[in-house]
Amino acid sequence: MTIIRPLALISEKEMKEMERIRDFQKQIKNCPFEKDSSRRDAKNLISELEKWNPDVRQSLWAAMENIKTDYLPKKNTKPINFTDNI
């Protein structure tokens, strides 16, 4: 797996410490799509999962490293007709 966002593996706590050490200033977010983003929901979900399993972040990353394509669903080449059995 190639990580294109190397800071994705750094915890938020570590990021805040780096921010403090380097005296980084918080950026103002101007993204018009930010309110419709699922990032906050995903962050909250992972935080909830960490209450059950503190290593859940590492587990999620590990799960993405060894994907067995044979286990993935096959692409359906014909359209699904939802009215067949009505």
pLDDT tens track for 61-77: 888 887 888 888 887 77
> What pTM was computed for the model?
0.56
Query: Which of the residues in the chain have pLDDT under 70?
Result: 1-4, 84-86
Residue 86: per-residue pLDDT: 61
36-4-43 Cα angle (round to 5): 35
Written as one letter, the residue type at 85 is N
Residue 52: per-residue pLDDT: 95
- What token pair was written down for 17? 């410490």
Half-sphere exposure of 11 (CA within 13 A, CB side): 11
